Structure 1
């Protein structure tokens, strides 16, 4: 079992699946979502149009199209509204449901972004703690999980959460 933090664009990673921090339409947007849609090409958008959107805390699978990854797992994180509206539970569900898809497809390597920490405003240290705790609890042998941060400061937050849980 491998669990580590990497820095860079999730679209460049050579893994079987990348997780997309999507919006509920699954039709692309900003941040990670926009980057994945741009890198994957028009086939991803066409397939996403057939899925009927996605509820917060759920996950849906598509092909990876022009990405190195064979699959994209789309999950919709919570919008931070102060922390008293179940945001932490919904965020944990994003990781749990994404791993459910991974297990069903027998995917051995997957990369996660820091879900909900961009425009959705989830506090980064708390989000990192939830990600690490949920993933570590649900991982299994022969699995590689990467936590992908776009910047070095964000990678440091993820690494601190990972170090704290080991």
Structure 2
């Protein structure tokens, strides 16, 4: 056996791969398949009680390590950012699959379209679509524009409101607004 000491992760993993702990990992994986086209890697390992003890899912080139929350543990919602090709289509799929819209797709001064939703397991997804490269000088000019400040204010307020709420993760009726 060769012991590696350079800190390089094994093939297929990055230096940081998040753990996502859910009440129903199987349902979470199906949600991720529907919304992001996620692919499950390897074989799920089940505990003696049938709960998912370990699963791995690839989303947008990243590996999410997953398992079921144990009885008596608190809810452990993850906050995850993912870059996508089409933020609006991703949000539409998420809401159709039972997610609750938190932040409607909003273009920000730094060149990204940003949206957020909370999935049925309670995880908060930050969806980014990079629409343009913006120079520091141009970004400074844009942030001087009241419309850019209003957009940033909405994005910040929608997150603050979500984090201050205890509401269930269900689809909203006013999604189109």
TM-score, length basis structure 1? 0.30
- Name the structure where strand makes up a greater proportion of residues: 2
**Which structure is higher in RCO with an 8 Å CA cutoff and minimum separation 6?**
1
TM-score, length basis structure 2? 0.29
- Name the structure where helix makes up a greater proportion of residues: 1
Query: Which structure has the larger Rg over C-alpha atoms?
Result: 2
